[in-house]
Amino acid sequence: MDRDVARYPYETAITAYGNGGFRFADMSHRGSILCLPSGIYAWAATSIETLGPGDIDFLLGLLEPPITVLLGTGEKQLWLEPEVYAAFAKAGIGLEPMSTGAAARTYNILIAEKRPIAAALIAVT
């Protein structure tokens, strides 16, 4: 994925999720998103089962440690392949998988507290 992907250039709270997308900053986006200190990016990931090295590399390329990523895995919490955890550990970035709803709510709380956090949220229907 290209760094010139569509993005909103500010860190902001997620105000709604579901129906295949998200609302934030009085806008809506269909599909998955990355919520980073540098803004909110469109993300091609559609499910944990199809999460590929390109999806992970794109995310890791946009982050600087120390930071933790809340990974919204969809409707329910799912665990990732060991290689994914290893890639995050090698980059010095924490990884916490949880359902997309839990990740969005936790992200909102932590950015309100001005904590260094990122969220990779897979859209749910």
Domain 7-121 has CATH 3.40.50.300: no
Residues 42-61 have a mean pLDDT of: 92
More confidently predicted of 104 and 1: 104
Helix 82-91, helix 53-61: angle, nearest 10: 20
- Using one digit for the tens of pLDDT, what is the confidence trace for 8-46? 999 999 999 999 999 999 999 999 999 999 999 999 999
The residues, any chain, with a CB within 8 Å of residue 8's CB and separated by 6 or more, are: 24, 25, 27, 39, 40
The yes-or-no verdict on residue 3 having pLDDT over 70 is no
This prediction's pTM: 0.94
The yes-or-no verdict on residue 6 having pLDDT over 90 is no
